[in-house]
Amino acid sequence: MSSIFLYIYSSAIKKVIHLFVARSICFFVMATGQLFSRTTQALFYNYKQLPIQRMLDFDFLCGRETPSVAGIINPGSEGFQKLFFGQEEIAIPVHSTIEAACAAHPTADVFINFASFRSAAASSMAALKQPTIRVAAIIAEGVPESDTKQLIAYARANNKVVIGPATVGGIQAGAFKIGDTAGTIDNVIQCKLYRPGSVGFVSKSGGMSNELYNTIARVTDGIYEGIAIGGDVFPGSTLSDHVLRFNNIPQIKMMVVLGELGGRDEYSLVEALKQGKVQKPVVAWVSGTCARLFKSEVQFGHAGAKSGGELESAQAKNQALRDAGAVVPTSYEAFEAAIKETFEKLVEEGKITPIKEITPPPIPEDLSTAIKSGKVRAPTHIISTISDDRGEEPCYAGVPMSSIIEKGYGVGDVISLLWFKRSLPRYCTQFIEICIMLCADHGPCVSGAHNTIVTARAGKDLVSSLVSGLLTIGPRFGGAIDDAARYFKDAHDRGLTPYEFVESMKKKGIRVPGIGHRIKNRDNKDKRVELLQKFARTHFPSVKYMEYAVQVETYTLSKANNLVLNVDGAIGSLFLDLLAGSGLFTKQEIDEIVEIGYLNGLFVLARSIGLIGHTFDQKRLKQPLYRHPWEDVLYTK
């Protein structure tokens, strides 16, 4: 290097250094020691299950008595989130605002912000303005630089610390960690982060922090505190800010710094070293020396990792740090050896007493993880055979949703899949749809509709009104379809004549289900019954059960004019013909369908349509509270 270039180079460095002197001094006033301890608690903004659980697992690993996450802030939500603290399941409060969370947890002084880059600055500023918050970690990348500058200015003016943006966070070994810092629990254990070591570490890169935690654990007694300041152009705190802090923490005996090309942050550390503000050994490396191999300027991973000239190159920074007294290896490959040599020298000098190794407690494995790895088997709590929502689209009885739409399936087809677990012939599904249409409503005077109307007029919601009507369905109202099918089938299959069947029911004191109507009679039969019978005679292969029901009706009409086959009896007998005639069901399956109550399900499904309609009708008409008239009540002693 020529003498002229050396003069220009050194003069330029001095100018750069002076720009960072004031900033370094400001932080020295702001934070002179540890940021975290074994009692530090945080507020977590924008709920993310995995990083919170990793924090809690780290707490358990370190033997903390209290969880490090005091509360969660999820805008618009309140309540609790269940997570694990060791083997114990705990409920962490969820707050809808930063102000509410800070008021509820006044001892939580760290704000961990997992908001997106769009809202990270505003939420971080809101947190920093709370008197209880001392440190804010901003995880998002790409926070607008103007917003970051405002955060930095506010934090420094109010003696607060900002870590990030674009950071993974930080960690104090054996005490507290931010979010995903250090990665998985296996990595935390491998890096011996469950107990404090003697090394203070600071880096711009979160990913490289994990690598260096491992390296430091191999050649020293581990880290005491590690910080990733973030890779954006304007980090909330600098490398030198944290090195100066480390210098004032007695447990830290040496520092390891990993910088990168781009920006001039490292020069503030150079100035601090030259001014004697750092009395402990500093092992440093600035990555990005390969940038000179490229003919044009190269943008590396971080927004700030972009050389803006010779002074911002990795080579210039490494040389400046070396000249200032830091231990700087000749390459990254030699970084580990330099750290090891510095540590061993401190041990020889008696400045470091190697820490006695401890065995951390095992972290209970999540059931889902253990099942996937084949370590355990666990019984399921629910069995489902009719639908599956685990794939790309839901399936009904194995039929994808897209196929249902593409094939033009109707409501009857969906019912056949979900109720009977098979695709029924078109005449079967059409019959189901006809039943639903014919039974959807029977006017406002029947008990179900009446209950629904009264409830709706009492100001109740749709579900309450619907349920009040559905609860009237039973043996006396709409619930006789199953019984009708059951008795008609038993009598037919046993070969009983209508006379024998009716008289045997009479002796038992049981009315024949599906026979009788309060309004209809021999001369005014239910039109719905006639429509069902006509459809069945046209499309069904066999109507033996329906014909038997008609024969029973002929006998009962000889006893009374209103003992006609009603819609319950028609549907019950015809459904038996559908099941038996389709050839898709065994005798055992048919018996089971009737026994379970499938057929009443048709009436419940159909009548729900009408009851919902009555609810809407009353609310649309703005009908007042219903009171039954006195004149319609017989008052008697």
Give the whole-angstrom CA distance, residue 147 versus residue 248: 31
Alpha-carbon 506 to chain mean position: 60
Position 580, amino acid? A
Asked whether 307 and 262 are in contact (CB, 8 A), the reply is yes
Identify the active-site residue in 302, 492, 517, 614.
302
The alpha carbons of the chain give a radius of gyration, in whole angstroms, of 39
Asked whether 481 and 565 are in contact (CB, 8 A), the reply is no
Give the whole-angstrom CA distance, residue 328 versus residue 255: 12
Helix (H) or strand (E) holding 368: helix 367-372
Helix (H) or strand (E) holding 399: strand 399-400
| N-terminal to C-terminal alpha carbon distance within the chain | 120
Give the whole-angstrom CA distance, residue 475 versus residue 625: 29
Helix (H) or strand (E) holding 142: none
- Annotate 401-427 with three-state secondary structure: HHHHHHCCCCHHHHHHHHHHCCCCCHH
Q: Determine phi and psi for 508, rounding to 5 degrees.
A: -80, -5
Residues 6 or more apart in contact with residue 76 via CB below 8 angstroms: 96
For the record, the structure tokens of 488 come out as: 């008609």
Asked whether 60 and 363 are in contact (CB, 8 A), the reply is yes
Helix (H) or strand (E) holding 200: strand 199-203
Asked whether 135 and 121 are in contact (CB, 8 A), the reply is no
| Closest listed residue to residue 346, CA positions, set 223, 461, 253, 484 | 253
Give the whole-angstrom CA distance, residue 607 versus residue 305: 68
Active site residue 18: no
In 59-187, where do the E strands start and end?
Answer: 69-73, 79-85, 88-95, 110-113, 135-138, 161-163, 169-172, 176-177
Q: Determine phi and psi for 366, rounding to 5 degrees.
A: -60, 145
Residues 6 or more apart in contact with residue 326 via CB below 8 angstroms: 257, 269, 273, 282, 283, 284
Order of strands across the sheet that contains 42-45: 79-85, 88-95, 69-73, 42-45, 110-113, 135-138, 161-163
Give the whole-angstrom CA distance, residue 192 versus residue 199: 12
Give the whole-angstrom CA distance, residue 480 versus residue 604: 12
Q: Which residues are catalytic?
A: 302
